[in-house]
Amino acid sequence: MSTASVLRRVLVFNLGAEFLGGTADALRAAGAEVQVFDDSRSLGSIEAVKALMAHAWREGAPDLVLISATPDALIRSRPLHELDLTEWRRDVTDGLRLSLWLLQSLSDYVKAGDAIVMIGPSLSLVGAPDLVGLSTLLEGQRGLMKSVARQWGARGVTLNWIAMAPCALSDRFQHARLAAKPDAVSVALSDRPRPARDLPGVLAFLARGAMTGMTLTLDGGEWMVP
């Protein structure tokens, strides 16, 4: 089944760091109507997020909602002892709160057969020594995803998480100290994943409602963790 036949309309909430690397354009090229929301500056309350969601639905119900909500500041590497509590509250807490507000707002609209996918770097599964705030946020978002997936399962709504290789999502991870595997072959596939090339097919599969509450790791077979 092609991406176009499954995904006719997609809502993309890319709020904070730009992780989706041409995914919206790739979905459009596959025949989907894609509406992108990428300005998080005015989303400082649940009321503002609800207003955004109402605007998004005004053009018609989507086949899939894709969410990336990671404050850009969390990609800056720093050791644990340099973490500032004010910045922690602003970035980690605000990122998790925005994710919660997005899902709470979606609750007013989603129905049986609808699919929601959240996405973030796969480093939360293995940790990163100088990205404590980002690792913490990502695990919080994954826990939120699983809890909401259990609540919405009875309604026939699916919610999943895609953990993608950090460097595939952003070049800003190129110089970060990421966890390294000790074996000689660190990536099973010869070609590392690319969002624009690889995400549309995975999103089309998830939109069919085959699973919920799952973490799918797209890292070329580097870690092979659940």
Q: What is the rounded average pLDDT for all residues in the chain?
A: 90
Measured CA to CA, the distance from residue 80 to residue 45 in angstroms comes to: 30
The structural domains of the chain, ordered by start, are 3-218 (3.40.50.720)
Looking at residues 180-200, what average pLDDT do you find? 78
Lowest mean pLDDT among 12-21, 45-54, 59-68, 180-189: 180-189
- Report residue 172's pLDDT band, with 50, 70 and 90 as the boundaries: confident
Residue 3, pLDDT above cutoff 80: no
Per-residue pLDDT, 4: 56
Whether pLDDT at 39 is above 80 = yes
pLDDT > 60? residue 98: yes
Give the model's pLDDT for residue 34.
95
The model's confidence at residue 145, banded by pLDDT at 50, 70 and 90, is very high
Asked whether the predicted pLDDT for residue 110 surpasses 70, the reply is: yes
Res 223: pLDDT: 77
* Residue of 172, 163, 226, 174 lying closest to 198 (CA atoms): 163
DSSP assignment letter at 93: I
Of 194, 140, 147, 191, nearest to 171 (Cα)? 194
**pLDDT at residue 31 tops 70:** yes
pLDDT digits over 119-143, tens only?
999 988 888 888 989 999 999 999 9
Q: How confident is the model at residue 2 (pLDDT cuts 50, 70, 90)?
A: low
Contacts of 221 (CB under 8 A, 6+ apart): 187, 188, 189
Sort 107 into a burial class: Cβ within 10 Å, 0-12 / 13-18 / 19+: middle
For residue 214, the model assigns a pLDDT of 96
Q: 69 - beta bridge partners?
A: 15
Encoded tokens for 116 = 């929601």
Supply 50's token pair: 């609800």
